[in-house]
Structure 1
């Protein structure tokens, strides 16, 4: 299957992408991984991306599209893939359609993870991260530490990232609504969109997604 995963910040796209890709036996292709791989390997696209990033500028669509095209052409993606974070806007969606058409294939589904805006704010603004080890993550409501402000694992100080504040989250949501959300209507016109609730336990959301994808294919 060839799937695009969309949803607002805090919808759990990265987590669901990993689970779904494993269940469907297809590679997860995320924008973040593409950038890291190309930059660390020193590819031409990676060098271009770094030059824009170092200058504090957005990486142009053509660079991101080039990275995605290269990754989707690799052998492990021959029978399908799950795109996480790409396409990010209608222009990228149109480029993806053109790429796939050139290869004589097309998308099977666009999975839209739906989460109320207030829940997104609650999820992200409630995160607290250990200063000693960034992999130790807690949540003031869903996974609180035993002692407030202290990591259960190593005793390090827990802090809130600057981009996890409520104001920043709402700004990120505005960007999502203006730039990325329009691709849902773009794909809905192609009858590709499958929308599910991303509320609840991770496993429940994964099962919901798998059932929705099977029903859509059926």
Structure 2
């Protein structure tokens, strides 16, 4: 099973992806996680991406597409994968189409988590508080000001990806503001039809 989870930052894509990984024994490919790992490991791509990520901006298509293409080739992706945080632009979606075609693969589903963006900042503030209360470091992109920058970038650049897949008859939309278990059930229903 190969699928994409779409939605703005804070919509719950990561939470739902973790549940799908556990249920279907597939791999979550989060560009954010892959980039953070590259930053931690101080790889050339990581060093290049660090300044951009710290400012809350998106890294270049070239970097992200290269990371995704290489990652899809790894043995743990043979059963399938979930793309979380990619594609972020129509150019990336088109590049993904080419990459998958070259590898003889196709997507099984594209699921968009629709959310009330006015409530997202509150959700992020709460997530940051809960993380800090557990004694864990709060991610830089959970800072409300950085988050607002990310949300603006999503609305400017990424919101057009859902219509790209809708035009191809591949998009399923789910209310991401519902309780987590209800969102999980709605996703399971979509995947049964796929």
Distance 1:201 1:75, change over 3 A: same
- Within a 5 Å distance, the mapping from 1:54-133 to structure 2 comes to 54=51, 59-127=59-127, 128=129, 129-130=131-132, 133=135
The TM-score normalised by the length of structure 2 is: 0.84
| Mapping for residues 203-218 of structure 1, pairs under 5 Å | 203-215=181-193, 217=194
Change (3 A) 1:107 1:40: same
Aligned length: 187
Aligned to 1:134, which of 124, 136, 144?
A: 136
Larger Rg: 1
- Does the aligned pair in 2 maintain the 1:35–1:49 contact within 8 Å? yes
Structure 2 unmatched runs, 5+: none
Normalised to the residue count of structure 1, the TM-score between the two structures is 0.75
8 Å Cα contact 1:49/1:63 also seen in 2: no
Note the C-alpha offset of 1:126.
3.9
* Larger mean Cα displacement after TM superposition, 69-78 or 171-180: 171-180
Given the alignment of the two structures, is residue 197 of structure 1 paired with residue 175 of structure 2, yes or no?
yes
DSSP 3-state at the match of 1:210 = helix
Residue by residue over 1:34-79, the C-alpha shift from the partner in whole angstroms, topping out at 9 and shown as x without a partner, is 123444556xxx3034135347785321111111111111111123
**Which of 179, 187, 192 is the aligned partner of 2:157?**
179
Q: Which structure shows the bigger proportion of residues in helix conformation?
A: 2
Q: Structure 2: how far apart are the matches of 1:184 and 1:23? A: 25
Tell me, in whole angstroms, the C-alpha distance in 2 between the residues paired with 1:32 and 1:20: 18
Matching residue of 1:164:
144
* Residue in 1 that maps onto 2:44: 47
CA positional deviation for 1:174: 2.4
Q: Name structure 1 gaps, 5 residues minimum.
A: 137-160
Q: Which of 1 and 2 has higher RCO (CA within 8 Å, sep 6+)?
A: 2
